[in-house]
């Protein structure tokens, strides 16, 4: 029997097939779009720049086992093989080493905001109360608030001018100490550390180390600060494998906690004393109509009470800033003075020229004042040359990109640790003539090399938003101290000893063998040593 095809059946058949066709077409179109997206994604991946070259590493460990303790020279040697931008696999962390002024410019100038954060090591986090200081705080409103507090209030030229008498007193006390040691060895770095520590603590809370405590307490404080900076520069498994941080396999966290606690107890005591007497101090200042008695701690505590609700200054910030000033300001400047003295003593013609300039400007019947230092271009050149050969932070403080980006044609992954090897750049023979020779002449009559971070051949204090906040303070203390030591005394090594200029790597560069030298008076009037 032949089926009958009615008009209704035909219409239903056509309708069903039209719907089916639409479904098939939609699915086909979706499949094409999906395949196109996959193609574009794969094509995009193929088009992305590769990671920088670098030495091959081991599974899980990467390049950790091959790291040399002297990282600045080790990174330089790697750059000679792999190029000015290279990658190291440090456990779970990617390290990028930059050894080129043009690439440093890309990081610190052209992509400044992207690289304005820090990869905070465990030791740094412990030392600064969780990273609440100006060094480690992430870039943003909180960091801008902290930098404003430091740069505009503590370390501005106006503030530094106002406490010159304090610096002068401490430097004169050091001269008196060295005069009492005439003919006997003096540990130059240790004495300059204590001088600068006294300047800083007086500026912070009015404290200083004097009298019989000077030698013993100065050496103790310097040892603590030295151990802290050593831990900050030490490769730590807890940083490379964050999951292992709670085990503290190398004991870095435990050691740093112990050292930081010694400062914290002092900070707590000072803050408690100030808090109990703050009303009295405020009343006395109001009645006298001025604020001359305020030191930095008093200013911070008052600022905390008047805190902006959006970015408040907390007691943790206060203690972290105190730690920054004590640790970051004392060791760095004293190491620079020690290196400068060693380099000058190693070349008698440089010592003679520096002293001749001092005699012409100051005379032998006067003492150096800080207002004289801008009249000493040769000594300025000595300081700049010292910071070229022996930059305070040889790898700067590591940066950390907030997003993946491209530098030098290579992909830099988000969250990687960026080392800028200024120590190697400032010894690069393609940039500097006779780069290993200490030659202040290269900085005479040459204004392009300053501390502003604008010329990336020479950035001893870094560049960009995270440039060192204490440049003005460091420049004054180094120049004033160096001029005073050279003007007041002749210096020579103990009999039979030779100058050793070897360096010891850390986040802060140190002289491996301390400079011990014997002073002899140069000034005609012995009362100038009082």
Q: What is the pLDDT of residue 405?
A: 96
SS3 504: strand
* Other Cβ atoms closer than 10 A to 434: 9
Q: Count other C-beta atoms under 10 Å from residue 250's C-beta.
A: 16
CA distances from 237 to 57, 169, 242, 249, 307 (A): 16, 45, 8, 7, 38
Q: Nearest-CA neighbor of 262 among 300, 234, 298, 227?
A: 227
What are the residue ranges of helices labelled H in 306-372? Answer: 315-323, 329-346, 348-361
Q: In degrees to the nearest 10, what's the CA dihedral of 32, 38, 40, 43? A: -140
Q: Which two tokens stand for residue 198?
A: 């006294």
DSSP E strands in 375-420: the ranges are: 399-400, 405-407, 410-412, 417-420
Q: Which residue has the tokens 């790898």?
A: 395
**Cα(254)–Cα(256) distance, integer angstroms:** 6
Domain positions in the chain are 64-279+294-433+440-529
How do the pLDDT tens digits run along the chain, 530 residues long? Answer: 444 445 454 445 445 554 544 544 554 555 555 656 665 555 545 568 999 999 999 999 999 999 999 999 999 999 999 999 999 999 999 999 999 999 999 999 999 999 999 999 999 999 999 999 999 999 999 999 999 988 887 888 998 998 899 899 999 999 999 999 999 999 999 999 999 998 888 888 876 656 555 556 667 788 899 899 999 988 999 999 999 999 999 999 999 999 999 999 989 988 888 876 655 545 555 544 444 456 888 888 888 888 666 888 999 999 999 999 988 888 999 999 999 999 999 999 999 999 999 999 999 999 999 999 999 999 999 999 999 999 999 999 999 999 999 999 999 999 999 999 999 999 999 999 999 999 999 999 887 899 999 999 999 999 999 999 999 999 999 999 999 999 999 999 999 999 999 999 989 999 999 999 999 999 989 999 98
Nearest to 497 by CA among 345, 348, 353, 349: 345
In DSSP terms, 95 is beta-bridged to 88, 417
What is the total residue count of the chain?
Answer: 530
CA nearest 260: which of 129, 146, 119? Answer: 129
pLDDT at 20: 44
Neighbours of 255 (CB within 10 A): 18
Contact between 285 and 294 (Cβ < 8 Å): yes
Burial of 465 (0-12, 13-18, 19+ CB in 10 A): middle
Q: Which helix (H) or strand (E) holds 118?
A: strand 117-118
Task: Identify the bridge partners of residue 491 per DSSP, sorted by sequence position.
Answer: 519
Q: How far apart are CA 363 and CA 507, in angstroms?
A: 39
Torsion sign over Cα 310, 311, 313, 316: positive
Of 52, 61, 120, give the one whose Cα is nearest residue 89.
61
Q: In terms of DSSP bridges, do strands 489-492 and 516-521 run parallel, antiparallel, or are they unpaired? A: antiparallel
- Please tell me whether 400 is known to bind a ligand: no
Q: Output the 3-class SS for 243-271.
A: HHHHHCCCCHHHHHHHHHHHHHHHHHHHH
User: What is d(CA 108, CA 370) in angstroms, rounded to the nearest whole number?
Assistant: 33
Would you say 358 and 376 are in contact if contact means Cβ atoms under 8 Å apart?
A: yes
Is residue 194 within 8 Å of 209, Cβ to Cβ?
yes
Q: What pLDDT, on the 0 to 100 scale, is given for residue 164?
A: 92
Architecture of domain 64-279+294-433+440-529: Orthogonal Bundle (1.10)
Q: What is the pLDDT of residue 350?
A: 98
Q: What is the pLDDT of residue 2?
A: 44
Q: Are 520 and 183 in contact (CB under 8 A)?
A: yes
Tokens of 287: 């009645």
C-beta neighbour count of 338 within 10 angstroms = 23
- What sections of 362-510 are H helices per DSSP? 377-389, 422-425, 471-488
């Amino acid at each position: 029997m032949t089926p009958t095809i009615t008009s209704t059946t035909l219409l239903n058949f056509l309708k069903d097939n039209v719907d089916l066709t639409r479904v098939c077409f939609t699915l086909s179109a979706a499949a094409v779009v999906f395949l196109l997206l996959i193609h574009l994604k794969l094509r995009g991946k193929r088009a992305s720049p590769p990671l920088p070259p670098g030495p091959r590493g081991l599974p899980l460990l990467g390049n950790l086992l091959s790291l040399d303790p002297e990282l600045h020279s080790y990174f330089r040697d790697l750059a000679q093989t792999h190029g000015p931008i290279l990658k190291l696999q440090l456990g779970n962390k990617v390290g990028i080493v930059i050894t080129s002024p043009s690439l440093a410019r890309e990081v610190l100038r052209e992509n400044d905001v992207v690289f304005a954060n820090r990869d905070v090591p465990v030791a740094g986090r412990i030392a600064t109360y969780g990273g609440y200081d100006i060094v480690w705080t992430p870039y943003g409103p909180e960091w801008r608030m902290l930098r404003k507090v430091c740069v505009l209030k503590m370390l501005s030229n106006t503030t530094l001018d106002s406490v010159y008498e304090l610096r002068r007193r401490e430097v004169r006390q050091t001269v008196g100490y060295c005069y009492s040691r005439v003919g006997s060895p003096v540990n130059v770095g240790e004495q300059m550390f204590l001088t600068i520590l006294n300047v800083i603590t007086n500026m912070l809370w009015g404290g200083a180390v004097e009298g019989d405590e000077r030698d013993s307490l100065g050496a103790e404080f310097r040892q603590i600060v030295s151990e802290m900076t050593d831990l900050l520069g030490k490769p730590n498994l807890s940083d490379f494998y964050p999951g292992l941080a709670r085990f503290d396999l190398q004991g870095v966290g435990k050691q740093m906690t112990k050292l930081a606690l010694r400062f914290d107890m002092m900070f707590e005591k000072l803050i408690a004393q100030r808090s109990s007497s703050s009303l009295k101090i405020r009343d006395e200042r109001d009645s006298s109509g001025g604020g001359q008695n305020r030191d930095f701690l008093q200013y911070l505590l008052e600022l905390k009470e008047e805190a902006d609700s959006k970015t408040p200054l907390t007691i943790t910030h206060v203690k972290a800033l105190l730690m920054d000033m004590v640790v970051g300001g004392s060791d760095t400047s004293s190491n620079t003075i020690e290196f400068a003295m060693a380099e000058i003593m190693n070349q008698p013609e440089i010592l003679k020229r520096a002293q001749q300039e001092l005699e012409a400007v100051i005379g032998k019947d006067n003492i150096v004042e800080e207002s004289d230092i801008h009249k000493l271009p040769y000594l300025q050149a000595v300081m700049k040359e010292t910071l070229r050969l022996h930059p305070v932070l040889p790898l700067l403080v590591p940066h950390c990109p907030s997003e993946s980006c491209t530098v030098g044609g290579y992909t830099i992954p988000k969250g990687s640790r960026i080392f800028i090897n200024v120590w190697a750049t400032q010894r690069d023979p393609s940039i500097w003539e006779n780069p290993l020779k200490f030659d202040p002449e290269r900085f005479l009559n040459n204004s392009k090399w300053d501390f502003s971070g604008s010329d990336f051949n020479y950035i001893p204090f870094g560049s960009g938003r995270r440039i060192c906040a204490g440049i003005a303070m460091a420049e004054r203390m180094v120049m004033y101290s160096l001029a005073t030591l050279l003007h007041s005394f002749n210096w020579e090594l103990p009999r039979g000893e030779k100058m050793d200029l070897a360096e010891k790597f850390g986040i802060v560069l140190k002289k491996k063998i301390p400079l011990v030298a014997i002073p002899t008076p140069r000034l005609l009037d012995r009362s100038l040593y009082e």
